[in-house]
Each structure stands twice: as C-alpha cells, then as structure tokens.
Amino acid sequence: MQTSHTLPQTIAGDVGERQQRVLRNTYALLALSMAPTVLGALLGIQLNFSFMAGSPFLGFLLFMGVAIGFMWGIERTKNSGMGVVLLLGFTFFMGLMLSRILQVALGFNNGGTMIAMAATGTGAIFVTLASVAATTKRDFSNIGKFLFGGMILLIVAILANLYFQIPAMSLAISAIAVAIFSGYVLYDINRIVHGGEDNYISATLAVYLDIYNIFVSLLQLIMAFTGDRD
C-alpha cells in the first residue's frame, strides 16, 4: 500500500523520467537533422548556391522570413509527425544557407582544415555545456532574458554591419554570437531537464539553432585568423 509521503517521490520520479525521455528524443532527432543539413550544404556547394548575394540586406531579410515561416510551422505542428517533416525541411534549407560560407572557406588553401576545426570546436562546446546543463542541479532559466536581449542586439549589429561592412565589427559579432549561443546551449538543455520544455520537436529546433550559429560564428573567426590564400 502506498502511503501519502511516498506520493510526491513517485510523481517526481515520473516527471524526471518524462524529461529524460524528452532529452533522449531531442538528441536522436538532433542527430537525424544533421543529415539534411549536410545534404543541403553539399547540394549548395555543387550548385554554387547564393541567396541574393547581390543584395546582402534584402537577402538577410528574405532568409529571416523563410526561417521564421518554417519555425512558425514547426511550432504549429510540433505534436504531430508533420512537425518532424517540417523540421527536417528547415534543416535542409539551413544546409543550403550554410553552403555559402563553406564555399568561401573552401576558397582558402586550408579550407577543409578550418571547417574541421570549426566542427570540432562546436562539438566540444556542445558536449561540454550540454553535459553541465544536464547534470547540474542549478537552474539556468534566469539567464533566458539576458540571452534574448543579447540576441536582439546581435541581430541589430548584423543588420548595421550589412551596411557599414566593418571587418573588426564582423569579428566582434562572431565572437559575441559564439558566447550567446553557447549560453543558449546551457539554457535550452537545462530547460528540458528541469521540465521547462516537454516537446522534443521544439527542443530540437532550439538546440539545432544553437549548434548551427556556434559553428558558423566559429568558422568565421577561424577564417579571419588562420585563413591561408597563398
């Protein structure tokens, strides 16, 4: 017979198991989402894909419009299989967008090495911070507003630099982006563990964007400091 004092422990155990299941499903879908990303990137490189390269500002706005449309659709269908389909479609689109910076990197003599360095660095950042977020008892939900504010300022800086084209500002934006989205890895994984996110499709979307932005920003920094055109 179950006594009243054991009931909270049972409920806590059920909640903990549910959140661990969400985390496992998130990691599984995240791994799957890398396949269309790689496919999109390879296709973009082969086709020399460029998203309105002649007008970076309009290209950025169009990209944001398409991305927001995908994210809206994913959130609307996150409780069905269509959510997974849209997520994988979104990651394919993001792979196409990624192909542009990969083309630039491959224009360097050490392009392959730089891409590998960015991928390794991204993996190390993610594994380290995700492990901390999943195992610590600390709740990182209090950094959410700070990170969101930083991301808004980052977007404003990106838009400004599309006009001014200042190399030093580009480097600063990339460095800040690595810091902000590394913080988001802590925030998003910790949020799953503590029950703030119980849908693995939404969780995967958030973590995928964290990883994507860390990789792109790291690659930009690595190209700036180690790119070899000789």
> For residue 15, what pLDDT is reported?
55
Residue at 6 is within a domain: no
Q: Which residue has the higher pLDDT, 108 or 51?
A: 108
**Is residue 106's pLDDT more than 90?**
yes
- Whole-number mean pLDDT of the chain? 89
Residue at 2 is within a domain: no
Long-range contacts of 109-112 (CB under 8 A, 24+ apart): 109/228, 109/229, 109/230, 110/226, 110/227, 110/228
> For residue 11, what pLDDT is reported?
43
For 189, the domain range is 17-226
Q: Which residue has the higher pLDDT, 65 or 7?
A: 65
How many structural domains does the chain have? Answer: 1
List of residues 6+ apart from 41 with CB closer than 8 A: 95, 96, 98, 99, 102
Residue at 4 is within a domain: no
Residue at 55 is within a domain: yes
Measured in Å, how far apart are the chain's first and last C-alpha atoms?
77
Tens of pLDDT along 47-84?
988 766 667 778 888 888 999 999 999 999 999 999 99
Whether pTM exceeds 0.85: yes
Residue at 75 is within a domain: yes
Tens of pLDDT along 183-227?
999 999 999 998 888 999 999 999 999 999 999 999 999 999 998
Residue at 95 is within a domain: yes
Helices assigned H by DSSP within the chain: 7-46, 56-76, 81-106, 111-135, 144-164, 167-193, 200-226
Residue at 134 is within a domain: yes
